[in-house]
Structure 1
Amino acid sequence: MDASIVILGLCCGVAFWCAAQRLHDLFYRRRGVWIEQRAIAALEVPEGWELQPNLPVPGHGDADIYIKSPKGQTWNIEIKSYEGAKKAPFSFFRKQDIVHPDGSPFKRDPIVQVLGVANKLKSQPVLWMPRAPNARTFRTRSGVLVVQGSRLRLERAIGARPWWKW
């Protein structure tokens, strides 16, 4: 009797933990989709520029935003709901270009994703974090332009908005 109660309790605990993890993942996935949709809707490019949201890329999912300038320059913009990032310290043992603001590594490296899509599209890779509280723009060792902040910061970073216009 005692063993069966313990086993039943363990099974219930495992089931509860699995359900909690699924709800957690579902919440963050939906939050990411919501942030991506709002960011795409808010983005503006000048006349003559082409903007394609959710461009399918075989073998890589999609490009959240693909932009082409009148001069022929192209950008593949991957939108992430992260609250920011910073350059990773140099290490011979780790291959990460960016880490969370507290220095912890990302579970899935967003740089790998944006580089894969950019190589397939032959475009400049851009990682945009519209919800980052500290507006910053920097380039990683692998050449990815990381833009943290509003759509205006992104538009200026790719040259779609002059630096003197806010």
Structure 2
Amino acid sequence: MTDTNAQVYAVYLTAAATEAGVARPAGYVTNRVVWDGTSAWTPGSGSAIVADPDGQFPIGGTYTPSTGYALAGASSATAGTALPLTLTPDHDGPATKTTVTLSDGGAGGTFSASTVTFGAGVNTAQGVTYTPKAAGTVTISATNTGGLTNPASLSVTVGAAAT
């Protein structure tokens, strides 16, 4: 019988350590395991895991978990015109799937998607658009579920739509 929930994880050091007389840096990948994610198992003291179904973090390699992410976009826009925004995790991506929620502080604009998701161990940028409703200054902010440091808010000066 095959467990369809099982996936491959890379086990990495959470802090520098010496193993068998050899110094290893934080992030050093010590093992790869297949785990269903629900049964009782822990990676051991001083270690953590990241989902790695594509083999991106082989034994002896390094995984550096994200500690934050960036929010980028233009500082000016026109009311009613979509403004591209990009959210990018730092380092090798978060250790767990992380959802980022965007807000315009109640300014009434619309996002093409109000949330984006960073996959575990994936540092791929995510793009959305924001369409401001009216002229003025809008502050776009982002918060996340994965314990990452949120980026500074993006201040956008919105000009009136051409008539």
Q: Which has the higher helix share?
A: 1
Q: Which has the higher strand share?
A: 2
Query: Normalised by the shorter chain, which TM-score bucket?
Result: under 0.3
Greater RCO, 1 or 2 (C-alpha within 8 Å, sep 6+): 2
TM (normalized to structure 2)? 0.23
TM (normalized to structure 1)? 0.23
